[in-house]
Amino acid sequence: MFESAVEGRSTPNLAFLLEAGRYRRAVSTFPSLTPVCLSTLATGAHPDVHEIPHLVWYHRGERRLVEYGSSFGAVRAAGTRRSLLNTVYEMNERHLGKRAVTVYEALEDAGLTAAAINITCYRGRTPHRPTVPVPVLTRPAYGPKRFFFYSLFESDVTGARLAVRNRPGGTIDAYATAVGRWLVTRDGFDFLVFYLSDYDYASHAQGPDAAHDALARCDAAVGALVAAAGGEQDFLDRYAVVLCADHGQTPVRDVAHLRDRLPDALVTASNRAGMAYVDGDARPHAVRLDGAPGVDVVLFREADEAVARRDGEELRFSRTGDGFATSGDASVLDHPNALERAWAALANPNAGEILVSAEPGWEFADLGRRPRPLRRRAAPLRPAPRPPMTPRERLVERLRRNGVVDERVLAAIGRVPRELFVPAAQRGRAYADEALPIGHGATVSQPTMVARMCEELALTGGERVLDVGTGSGYAAAVLAELAREVVGIERVPQLAERARAALAAAGYRVDVVVGDGSLGLPERAPFDAICVAAAAPAPPPALIAQLAPGGRLAVPVGRRAQRLEIVVNRPEGAEIVHSIACRFVPLVGAEGFDRPR
């Protein structure tokens, strides 16, 4: 959504920040729910330290549910007064872990002035009395020196209108904008958290791809701060800026009811994550979720290990110094930074014994949602249980969920035995969606990136393709499924030999040549497509020259901030038609970098 809005120039202020800075994808903590993610942003720690486990959870010490606002129905079910106290006071006063240090505490202990607008994780050193007559707000909230919380607490009189007048109309962010403008014009802080929540609200209501008006209002709010500072250059001269989301959104079509599957557990669920609090062994409860509609991954602890379970397959993992020891099927947990995030979520003392992540397109019913009515039928037939997917099939489904849409490419990925192209020690992770080291400073590319490059090359089956930086041979095998002829070039003789052996073992006829990939193979040109599996300083002219008319070159460009550029050989000259963010090892050679990093 952000990228399309910036490319479409509908958000000029966000585009200005993008052009002035550096952009990359980030990974949120887990579970990726607002209070958990905001606590991570405010403390720099995962839930094992800040101890906020979910939007709704069971307080073992007080033997009660804590509800922060999953939905209006959930708040009513848990008790409106109690939920308001949980969210406004107790999350920061009592639930946020004592070992965690918020950025406001750290900065103000160092003598600087921190400010926060509308962020729910706000713990600081300064008491602030309520500013509106709400009966349950009877004591101060301790926040940063400059503190503004939905008109309920205000450290200064700014003239901003009441925040909660019309949430669908954007009054929450309008309040934040007025306060932010007031602070900037007075240079009233050394550090400011400017939290805009209306886009999140609109995404839940309309779907993440339809909330264009809310994103435009976010852009206008940022523009108001820029204008208050005196314009773009003055704004950048005065402030260092980090623009980020607390978590992502995904479309939801169906609702799953975890309580139906776990009748003997205390289930707390909302949005796309759930928890179950159980007595004794967690495994029998976790097994009940095998094949359950809407369930993606189930996490639980056994002794000193964590277990991730999906469709009956398991991955076990435990901490070993700075990393993790694993055993089992690595593709069960092939999400970004999955081991770190899952371990921290399970180590939260307030979390349930079982954590559940939803499949794409699904969410879990919260306290305010009644189960959907069952239609009574005579002699109902139970559908046959779905057979567990193989690791390769799960990888294909993950690529489809990650936005790969070309079914020919997905089918090609599904036919290539990736385990033949990775070192023996890495074969347990062969179908994880990640790059894997193969020695000599090289990697076997991430399947998502291989798929995206193949999509961009738009192969139809009759092409001659040059694979630059053949490495393990995996990308060459996928290309061989899609094109008439593939030639590979690899600068490291040992890798070239291993690639030849792996390709032959998998049944692919690919000629792998040892040479400088940045210069291509002019004696074998022209090529209808060239795929480069390493990052160059710029699209190599030698490779562009070897493209047939209309041929396409996919090449990563850059050393640190990289982008995948698609170059098309037009009659009037080479044209870059598309670029996306990426991450590759450097292309070493005459038209690449002079040495590996």
pLDDT per residue over 393-428, tens digit each? 989 988 887 788 889 999 999 999 999 999 998 888
**Tokens, residue 39:** 């606590």
* Domain 391-582: which CATH number of 3.40.50.920, 3.20.20.140, 3.40.50.1100, 3.40.50.150: 3.40.50.150
Distance CA 438, CA 6 (A): 37
Task: State the CB neighbour count (10 A cutoff) for residue 483.
Answer: 23
Distance CA 193, CA 115 (A): 6
Q: Flag whether pLDDT at 205 surpasses 80.
A: no
SS3 171: helix
Q: Which amino acid is at 394?
A: R
What b/e string do you get for 373-386 counting C-beta neighbours within 10 Å, with b at 16 or more? Answer: eeeeeeeeeeeeee
SS3 298: strand
**Tokens, residue 312:** 């009956």
Q: Flag whether pLDDT at 378 surpasses 60.
A: no
Distance CA 179, CA 182 (A): 5
Residue 258's nearest CA partner among 307, 293, 219 is: 293
What pLDDT score does 71 carry?
84
Edge-first strand order for the sheet with 573-582 is 511-514, 485-490, 464-468, 527-532, 547-557, 562-570, 573-582
Q: Flag whether pLDDT at 379 surpasses 70.
A: no
Distance CA 154, CA 118 (A): 10
Kind of pairing between the strands at 305-310 and 313-320: antiparallel
377 — pLDDT class (breaks 50, 70, 90):
very low
Task: State the CB neighbour count (10 A cutoff) for residue 24.
Answer: 9
SS3 206: helix
Q: Flag whether pLDDT at 504 surpasses 70.
A: yes
Distance CA 348, CA 426 (A): 30
Q: Flag whether pLDDT at 289 surpasses 50.
A: yes
In eight-state DSSP terms, residue 382 is P
311 — pLDDT class (breaks 50, 70, 90):
confident
Q: Flag whether pLDDT at 373 surpasses 50.
A: no
CB 325 within 8 A of CB 318: yes
SS3 434: coil
Q: What are phi and psi for residue 459, nearest 5 degrees?
A: -75, 140
* Matching residue, tokens 């550029």: 565
In eight-state DSSP terms, residue 442 is E
367 — pLDDT class (breaks 50, 70, 90):
confident
Q: Flag whether pLDDT at 382 surpasses 50.
A: no
* Matching residue, tokens 């503190």: 147
Residues 529, 534, 537, 542: is their CA dihedral positive or negative? negative
Mean pLDDT score, 86-99: 95
CB 3 within 8 A of CB 327: no
Sequence length of the chain is: 597
Mean pLDDT score, 76-83: 88
Every domain of the chain and the residues it spans = 2-23+96-238, 391-582
Beta bridge partners of 435: none
Edge-first strand order for the sheet with 114-117 is 153-154, 146-149, 114-117, 191-194
SS3 279: coil
566 — pLDDT class (breaks 50, 70, 90):
very high
**Secondary structure element (H or E) that encloses residue 116, with its range:** strand 114-117
Separation of first and last alpha carbons in the chain: 33
What burial class does residue 63 get, using C-beta atoms within 10 Å of its C-beta: 0-12 exposed, 13-18 middle, 19+ buried?
Answer: exposed
Mean pLDDT score, 232-245: 93
The model carries a pTM of 0.67
**Secondary structure element (H or E) that encloses residue 176, with its range:** helix 171-185
**Tokens, residue 78:** 């848990």
Beta bridge partners of 64: 59
Is 445 catalytic? The answer is yes
**Secondary structure element (H or E) that encloses residue 162, with its range:** none
Cα Rg for the chain, rounded, in angstroms? 27
What burial class does residue 36 get, using C-beta atoms within 10 Å of its C-beta: 0-12 exposed, 13-18 middle, 19+ buried?
Answer: buried
595 — pLDDT class (breaks 50, 70, 90):
low
Q: Which amino acid is at 364?
A: F
What pLDDT score does 164 carry?
81
Residue 269's nearest CA partner among 81, 77, 43, 95 is: 77
Residue tagged active-site, from 445, 472, 518, 579: 445
Kind of pairing between the strands at 146-149 and 114-117: parallel
What pLDDT score does 213 carry?
83
Mean pLDDT score, 228-250: 90
The secondary structure of 451-504, three-state, reads HHHHHHHCCCCCCEEEEECCCCCHHHHHHHHHCCEEEEEECCHHHHHHHHHHHH
CB 25 within 8 A of CB 323: no
Distance CA 291, CA 561 (A): 40
371 — pLDDT class (breaks 50, 70, 90):
very low
Q: Flag whether pLDDT at 239 surpasses 70.
A: yes
Task: State the CB neighbour count (10 A cutoff) for residue 278.
Answer: 19
DSSP 77-88: HH-HHHHHHIII
What pLDDT score does 369 carry?
64
Question: What are the pLDDT digits (tens) for 183-203?
Answer: 999 999 999 999 999 888 887
Higher pLDDT, 59 or 19: 59
